[in-house]
Amino acid sequence: MKEILLDIVKGALIGVANVIPGVSGGTIAVSTGVYEKMINAISNIRKEFKQSIKTLWPILVGIVIGIIGLAFIITYLLENFPVPTTACFIGLVLGGVPVLYNKVKDEQLKFTHIIAFLITIALIIIPSVIASNTPAVTSIDFNIINILILVLLGIISAAAMVVPGVSGSMILMMLGYYNLIINTIKETISSAIHFEMEPLLLGIKIMIPFAIGVLIGIIVISKIISYILKKWPNASVWGILGLVTASPFAIIVKLGFVVVSPEIIIASIITFIIGYLISSKLGEK
């Protein structure tokens, strides 16, 4: 029971991370120590269906809680306390680095490991810069072309969710569709709560093709990553280390320039430490 509750908490952190631009759900999964078993369960779901569902359901429940419930809270915190909230997420990201590094610290460092580390750093920095200059799409007509676009967006953002260090929200922002998707999620939930059928049905029409794309992306990319982790385990870990250590750059770019007071600096240091400790402790467990 304790392990199930821990996985739900980890899933909630992953869910929240997937909503926040610059923060990677995959990175949080790595930092909290749930990434490899999640990937293996998804990639083997047809062969070991019962065991995969047993592994995945607490994480998925947590992800749903994180996206639907905590996302509203985190959005409020980002709007009103951006620097301390951002510092907490950076702590959550970096808290998993020591546990991750322990996997390869006793192995001989090779040239391929360095290349994997540097390439994945570039994969974080370049999209982060592009995303900061992309105009936003705020509405979409419901036709066959846009349905296919929504499915493709789901596949791309799901791939980014599964790959540590790559933010699905950041990719959506880079493509200009972040505001459309996040606002649709919020409006659909609000419409369901208030029984407003017209906006609810519109939201569902947008979210269904997107959700189908997410499901396809998660299954396909998980199989690819599972193969890479088994085929080149040490190079994979160094690549993930590059993604994780570069993630704070993407988070800070999204934050932009802000004026901070001594009180905000102190609060940010505290929230960073809290995030770091939560991530490192969950990763150890």
pLDDT tens figures, 168-180 = 666 776 677 777 8
Task: Look at residue 269 in the predicted model and tell me its pLDDT.
Answer: 92
Q: Which long-range contacts (CB under 8 A, 24 or more apart) does 259-264 make?
A: 260/83, 264/83, 264/84
How much is the pLDDT for 170?
63
Q: Which helix or strand (DSSP H or E) is residue 70 part of?
A: none
Distance of CA 77 to the CA centre of its chain: 18
pLDDT of 108 over the 70 cut: yes
Q: What pLDDT is stored for residue 272 in this prediction?
A: 92
Please check whether residue 187 is in contact with residue 197, taking contact to mean a CB–CB distance below 8 angstroms: no
* pLDDT at 11 > cutoff 90: no
| Structural contact between residues 236 and 228, judged by C-beta atoms closer than 8 angstroms | yes
CB 218 within 8 A of CB 157: no
Largest CA distance in the chain: 60
Q: Rounded to an integer, what distance in angstroms lies between the CA atom of residue 61 and that of residue 167? A: 20
Residues 6+ apart with CB under 8 A from 253: 22, 128, 129, 131, 132
Q: What's the pLDDT at 31?
A: 74
Average pLDDT over residues 241-266: 78
Please report which helix (H) or strand (E) contains residue 8, including its range: helix 2-19
- Closest Cα partner for 27 from 244, 194, 248, 268? 244
Residue 30 CA to residue 197 CA, distance in Å, equals 39
pLDDT, one tens digit per residue, over 46-101 is 888 888 888 889 888 888 888 777 666 776 787 788 888 888 888 877 877 777 77
Question: Could you tell me which of 206, 141, 138, 144 has the C-alpha nearest to residue 178?
Answer: 138
The span from the CA of 20 to the CA of 251, in Å, is 9
Task: Return the percentage of the chain with pLDDT > 70, whole number.
Answer: 85
N residues, the chain: 285
Query: Domain-by-domain residue ranges, the chain?
Result: 2-284
Q: Which 3 state secondary structure label does DSSP give 154?
A: helix
How high is the pLDDT of residue 270?
A: 94
Cα-based distances in Å from 145 to 149, 152, 154 = 6, 11, 14
SS3 23: coil
Instruction: Label each residue of 193-218 as H, E or C.
Output: HCCCHHHHHHHHHHHHHHHHHHHHHH
Cα four-point dihedral sign 75, 90, 127, 113: negative
More confident residue, 22 or 280: 280
Q: Are 38 and 59 in contact (CB under 8 A)?
A: yes
